[in-house]
Amino acid sequence: MSRCFITLLVVSVALLSSLTSSAVRLTLAVPISKKNMLTEMSQAVLSEAARRLGDELIFEPLPQERALVNINAGVLDGDSLHSVDLDLKPYPNLVRVRVPIAYDDLVAYGIGKVFKPAGLASLKPYKVVTIRIKELEQLGPEYRFTFVASNDQAFNMLRLGRVDLAVLPRSVSCEAVHAGYNEILVQEPALEHVEFVAHLHKSHAGLAREMERTLLQMKKDGSMARIQNEVHRKWSRCNPD
């Protein structure tokens, strides 16, 4: 075996080792909920971006507030799903990945036809149950909100007549269908269209910028839209399996 070949082999192995060691495995928080369109869409888009970068993502279900606290403390690497206008002042160690990866509508659910929504302000006359959605938590005391831990609890309170409306993402409407709440209807039009992004701990700030460039390339080549549309079509039938 020639000295030149041995040298080439050593260099190749070193290069391969360097490439392998540069791969990153990140643990990202995902909201605790039953499988739905929004979580599947965000995870599918992020997983493809990570694959292109040679990285690996692990998704860990956590309550949203606990997830933000853990990411800020460096316990987790990031989150996979928060609205683009999340206030980061309480979480100074979070870096936003500034390319939206998923979208949804915030809608009101009612027993039959209740009203015609005209933005969040149109909720004021009603008793409303919802989960911890930042956009709603930041509204004033004139809104009569009851916050619960899960979509199931919200739909059940609505079915029992304890509230007038449940305000939740449109993407969880299949949960009501599968639970047999056939009398629960989405009040059209949507209250608000919401786009969602990921966040990383500031120790991954460089990776956040790489992720942005990759996501922009996915938008340009059409792969992001293909992933999103495929997930949306699947969930519009309420038959994700």
105-193 has the same fold as 3-103+194-236: yes
Question: Residue 32: its pLDDT value, please?
Answer: 83
Q: What is the pLDDT along the chain (241 residues), one digit of tens a residue?
A: 555 444 444 444 444 444 444 678 999 999 887 788 999 999 999 999 999 999 999 999 998 889 999 999 999 999 999 989 888 999 999 999 999 999 999 999 999 999 999 999 999 999 999 987 777 888 888 999 999 988 899 999 999 999 999 999 998 888 888 888 889 999 999 999 999 999 999 999 999 999 999 999 999 999 999 999 999 998 888 866 6
> What is the rounded distance in angstroms from the CA atom of residue 207 to the CA atom of residue 46?
13
Question: Residue 110: its pLDDT value, please?
Answer: 97
Question: Residue 176: its pLDDT value, please?
Answer: 87
Taking the domains of the chain in order of start, what are their residue ranges?
A: 3-103+194-236, 105-193
Question: Residue 139: its pLDDT value, please?
Answer: 86
* Residue 79 · residue 63 · CB < 8 Å: no
> What is the rounded distance in angstroms from the CA atom of residue 38 to the CA atom of residue 44?
10
Question: Residue 7: its pLDDT value, please?
Answer: 47
Predicted TM-score (pTM) of the model is 0.79
CATH class of residue range 105-193: alpha beta
Question: Residue 241: its pLDDT value, please?
Answer: 62
CATH of domain 3-103+194-236: 3.40.190.10
Three-class SS of 139-198 = CCCCCEEEECCCHHHHHHHHHCCCCCEEEEEHHHHHHHHHCCCCCEEEEEEEEEEEEEEE
